[in-house]
């Protein structure tokens, strides 16, 4: 039998409930997809609050080493302790492995509650640059010596007055970072026959960060002229022009567009902060954070994780929705070249939701539905994997 080794971090808070509900789904899908010829061997890693309690560090060396060796991992949400100067382990993992592409598919599964009248057909992907922008974590607190020195420096060099009671944050966006990210997304779009790529930016205000992001992204698009045409460019007349349409939208307009006509958009290419905001806003269109999967991908390593956090108030209650984690698993199997496994999982999730078997977060927006527990949802998805294979 072919053994697939997969490193996983269960996660904090509700992470344990989600992991317990999802593990069996992944194992069954791998077994069924390949007629019992493949199976998973899990490698358990720790990080976050659990690791802090046990080993006194948020991210043990062993965890980093194993992810580096295995090149792929799936993780549950990790708590970032509030105060005490702790940095987010999630952000750190993205930076240390240079996972510069964050992928957040927003796909509507029929039967999900949505605030939209016609959510059917929503199938877009938010790509978020994952290593730059204000997430770089370059910040100085109001009143510190560093903040004061910075304010003095700006006054000396440019004559611009910044009030001394200001906190300071730096927003770096580089040409190299934008180009490699855009190139990755364009290549993905070509391979997966996507229809359009929209660059989302606030370049009218932040000219040399988000404005430059727009410029560098569109310039990168021009290098792929065989596959890409720009919105203002006429389609080729002689043949059906199937090239990917590339355009851009200012971020505030994009938020309105995505609510009014989400079906008009396909791939959104965003700097880090815009992508973060848009991912949660778009998750709201298709049922909420409980159903929105995610992946963080670099040239060497990829880490798959749900969009949501550890939702501590639901920890241990067997209530939380595991769909986001389950679908993140599907993304991981697809990344590993195990398309059949990914398809089995997604299909079983769709059928379970269509049967109106949902957890509390979805049930509360649906009429007359009694929610099932997190573990029960997992069992129902597994049952459908077995039935479908």
Closest separation between CB of residue 52 and ligand NAP, Å? 12
Residue (4 or 91) nearer to ligand NAP, CB: 91
- Note whether 324 binds ligand NAP by CB under 6 A: yes
DSSP conformation letters of 361-376: HHHTTSTT-PPPPHHH
Place of tokens 């660059």: 199
Instruction: Determine if 310 is a binding residue for ligand NAP (CB under 6 A).
Output: yes
Pair of tokens at residue 8: 């996983």
Is residue 130 close enough to count as binding ligand NAP by CB under 6 A?
A: no
In the bound state with ligand NAP, the residue whose beta carbon lies nearer, of 98 and 219, is 98
Residues labelled as active-site residues? 135, 202, 252, 276
Q: Is 378 in the site for ligand NAP (CB under 6 A)?
A: no
Q: Identify which of residues 14 and 220 has a Cβ nearer to ligand NAP in the complex.
A: 14
- Long-range contacts of range 53-58, CB-CB < 8 Å, 24 or more positions apart? 58/86, 58/89, 58/92
Strands 295-297 and 267-270: unpaired
Residue 112 makes CB contacts below 8 A (sequence gap 6+) with 119, 286, 287, 291, 353, 362
**At residue 127, what are phi and psi to the nearest 5 degrees?**
-105, 125
128 binds ligand NAP per the rule CB under 6 A? no
Among 128, 308, 334, 351, binds ligand NAP (CB under 6 A): 308
Q: Are 78 and 49 in contact (CB under 8 A)?
A: yes
Q: Does 338 bind ligand NAP (CB under 6 A)?
A: no
Q: Figure out which of the listed residues 305, 318, 346, 380 binds ligand NAP, where binding follows CB under 6 A.
A: 305
Interface characters, 346-365, with ligand NAP (x: CB under 6 A): ---------------x----
Whether 110 contacts 353, CB under 8 Å: yes
Q: How far is the CB of 13 from ligand NAP (least distance, A)?
A: 7
Q: 281: Cβ–Cβ under 8 A, 6 or more apart, which residues?
A: 255, 258, 259
Binding to ligand NAP by residue 272, rule CB under 6 A?
no
CB 63 within 8 A of CB 51: yes
Say how many residues touch ligand NAP, by CB under 6 A.
18
Q: Which of 112, 126, 286, 289 binds ligand NAP (CB under 6 A)?
A: 289
Q: How far is the CB of 176 from ligand NAP (least distance, A)?
A: 25
- Cα distances (Å, whole numbers) of residue 346 to 24, 299, 352, 383: 15, 26, 10, 13
User: Residue 135 carries which DSSP code?
Assistant: G
Under the criterion CB under 6 A, does residue 309 sit at the interface with ligand NAP?
Answer: yes
DSSP string, 73-88: EEE------SSTTPPP
Options 129-137, 238-246, 304-312, 379-387: segment touching ligand NAP (CB under 6 A) = 304-312
Binding track, positions 54-93, relative to ligand NAP; x by CB under 6 A: -----------------------xxxx---------x---
Residues of the shown chain interacting with ligand NAP in the complex, contacts defined by CB under 6 A: 77-80, 90, 289-290, 305, 308-313, 320-321, 324, 361
């Amino acid at each position: 039998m072919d053994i697939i080794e997969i490193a996983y971090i269960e996660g904090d808070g509700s992470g344990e409930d989600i992991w317990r509900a999802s593990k069996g789904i992944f194992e069954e899908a791998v077994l069924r997809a390949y007629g019992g010829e493949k199976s998973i061997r899990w490698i358990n890693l720790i990080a976050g609050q659990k690791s802090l309690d046990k080993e006194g560090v948020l991210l043990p060396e062993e965890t980093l080493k194993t992810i580096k060796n295995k090149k792929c991992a799936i993780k549950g949400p990790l708590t970032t302790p509030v105060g005490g100067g702790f940095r987010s382990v999630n952000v750190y993992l993205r930076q240390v492995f240079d996972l510069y592409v964050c992928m957040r598919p927003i796909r509507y599964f029929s039967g999900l509650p949505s605030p939209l009248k016609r959510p059917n057909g929503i199938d877009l992907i938010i790509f978020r640059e994952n290593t730059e922008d204000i997430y770089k974590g370059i910040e100085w607190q109001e009143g510190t010596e560093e903040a004061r020195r910075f304010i003095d420096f700006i006054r000396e060099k440019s004559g611009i007055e910044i009030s001394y009671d200001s906190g300071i944050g730096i927003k770096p966006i580089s040409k190299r970072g934008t180009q490699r990210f855009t190139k990755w997304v364009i290549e993905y779009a070509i391979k997966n026959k996507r229809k359009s790529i929209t660059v989302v930016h606030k370049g009218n205000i932040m000219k040399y960060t988000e404005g430059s992001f727009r410029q560098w992204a569109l310039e990168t698009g021009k290098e792929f002229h065989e596959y890409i045409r720009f919105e203002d460019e006429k389609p080729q007349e002689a043949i059906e022009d199937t090239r990917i349409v590339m355009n851009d939208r200012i971020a505030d307009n994009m938020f309105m567009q995505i609510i009014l006509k989400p079906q008009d958009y396909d791939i959104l290419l965003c700097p880090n902060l815009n992508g973060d905001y848009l991912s949660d806003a778009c998750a709201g269109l298709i049922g909420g954070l409980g159903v929105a999967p995610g992946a963080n991908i670099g040239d060497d390593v990829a880490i798959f994780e749900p969009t949501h956090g550890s939702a501590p108030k639901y920890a241990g209650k067997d209530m939380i929705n595991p769909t986001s984690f389950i679908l993140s698993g599907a993304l991981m199997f697809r990344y590993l070249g195990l398309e059949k496994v990914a398809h089995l999982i997604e299909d079983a999730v769709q059928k379970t939701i269509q049967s109106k078997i949902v957890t509390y977060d979805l049930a509360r927006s649906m009429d007359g539905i009694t929610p099932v527990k997190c573990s029960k949802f997992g069992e129902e998805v597994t049952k459908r994997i077995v039935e479908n294979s």
